[in-house]
């Protein structure tokens, strides 16, 4: 074998070895998705990895959702509640720790808006005017965001998840107002672009070791359930959309939380499906507030369906 042939064989051998090592390395890596604006984030198509909270429909989950009133410990603690859903920016790390100390099974969800701009938030100056759209009707100082601009938004949302949620000891996030494409946002956003944004928010949560729920986006649940750990829905009984959640999250052993405001949920069906349904006041106030209303399908002192 002459020198050129030896060098050719050596080159091919090295190339084959590199190829094997390269693809072997990819097997254990997360999938990378190229987003709008050049930002790259890892995501798993199926959210199976990680040790974050993954609630199932096996037993009823008794939960308290409080957003309009600040949550104070122990004033707003309720008996038999195992999940608290609270404003991430306004709730302190001390409060989260106090709730966890009540029972090792208690989980605390970090709420924040991921699809609208709120002028009163502490990081409001980070949102350029070019991505702020029409008013989110019914909610003061709230405006839809151009969620196609992930090159801008993902860093902001990452910081929120880290500072407001992860650093305070929350177990999960509830990213709200992410169903932008079907609202009058002022931007020509498609369902596919909206789904891509939701997937990236889920990936961010998992990158911090946090559980994440799909908030709203009910008709998109069949396309998004595999990226999320649970779902929180408002008024699916009123709008006859609960089947979307049953046939995506519930059949895949992922918990669903549902709230109705203007009518009672279909409790016999919800209980048969193992959906955590209840009727609440629209403002989601504290328990001692005169406007507080809470009527769950399964009483909070009941441990089975």
pLDDT tens digit at each of 305 positions of the chain = 433 333 333 333 434 443 433 344 433 333 333 333 334 444 444 455 789 999 999 999 999 999 999 999 999 999 999 999 999 999 999 999 999 999 999 999 999 999 999 999 999 999 999 999 999 999 999 999 999 999 999 999 999 999 999 999 999 999 999 999 999 999 999 999 999 999 999 999 999 999 999 999 999 999 999 999 999 999 999 999 999 999 999 999 999 999 999 999 999 999 999 999 999 999 999 999 999 999 999 999 999 99
Q: What is the pLDDT of residues 49-99, one digit of tens each?
A: 789 999 999 999 999 999 999 999 999 999 999 999 999 999 999 999 999
Q: Which two tokens stand for residue 266?
A: 């279909």
Q: Which superfamily, per CATH, for 31-296?
A: Aldolase class I (3.20.20.70)
Token pair in block for residue 195: 């789904």
Which strand ranges, in their side-by-side order, compose the sheet holding 116-118?
116-118, 142-145, 132-135
Contact 169, 147 (CB under 8 A): no
Tokens of residue 129, six digits: 């005017």
| 274: number of Cβ within 10 Å | 19
Beta carbons within 10 angstroms of residue 221's beta carbon: 24
Q: Which of 58, 111, 82 is nearest to 254 (CA)?
A: 58
pTM of the complete model: 0.86
Distance CA 9, CA 22 (A): 20
Distance CA 52, CA 112 (A): 19
* Closest listed residue to residue 281, CA positions, set 261, 267, 265: 261
Residue pair 220/197 in contact (Cβ under 8 Å)? The answer is no
Both tokens assigned to 80: 């038999």
Report yes or no: 280 and 258 within 8 Å, Cβ to Cβ. Answer: no
Within a 13 Å sphere around the CA of 188, how many CA atoms are in the beta-carbon half?
Answer: 0
């Amino acid at each position: 074998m002459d020198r050129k042939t030896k060098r050719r064989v050596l080159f091919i051998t090295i190339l084959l070895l590199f190829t094997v090592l390269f693809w072997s390395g990819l097997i254990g890596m997360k999938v990378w998705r190229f987003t709008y604006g050049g930002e790259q984030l890892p995501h798993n198509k199926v959210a199976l990895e990680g040790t974050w909270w993954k609630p199932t429909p096996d037993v009823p989950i008794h939960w308290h959702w409080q957003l309009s009133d600040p949550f104070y410990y122990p004033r707003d603690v309720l008996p038999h509640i195992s999940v608290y859903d609270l404003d991430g920016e306004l709730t302190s790390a001390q409060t989260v720790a106090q709730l966890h100390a009540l029972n090792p099974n208690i989980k605390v969800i970090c709420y924040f808006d991921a699809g609208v701009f709120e002028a009163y938030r502490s990081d409001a100056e980070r949102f350029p005017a070019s991505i702020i759209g029409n008013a989110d009707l019914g909610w003061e100082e709230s405006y839809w965001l151009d969620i196609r601009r992930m090159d801008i938004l993902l860093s902001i949302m990452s910081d929120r998840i880290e500072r407001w949620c992860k650093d305070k000891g929350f177990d999960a996030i509830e990213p709200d107002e992410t169903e932008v494409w079907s609202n009058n946002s002022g931007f020509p956003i498609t369902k596919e672009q909206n789904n891509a944004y939701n997937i990236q928010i889920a990936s961010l949560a998992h990158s911090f070791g946090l559980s994440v729920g799909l908030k709203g986006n009910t008709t998109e649940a069949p396309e998004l359930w595999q990226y999320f750990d649970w779902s929180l829905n408002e008024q699916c009984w009123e709008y006859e959309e609960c089947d979307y959640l049953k046939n995506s999250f519930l059949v895949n052993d992922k918990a669903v939380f549902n709230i109705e405001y203007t009518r009672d949920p279909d409790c016999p069906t919800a209980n048969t499906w193992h959906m955590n349904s209840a009727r609440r006041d629209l403002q989601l106030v504290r328990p001692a507030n005169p406007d507080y209303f809470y009527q769950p399908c399964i009483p909070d002192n009941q441990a089975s369906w």
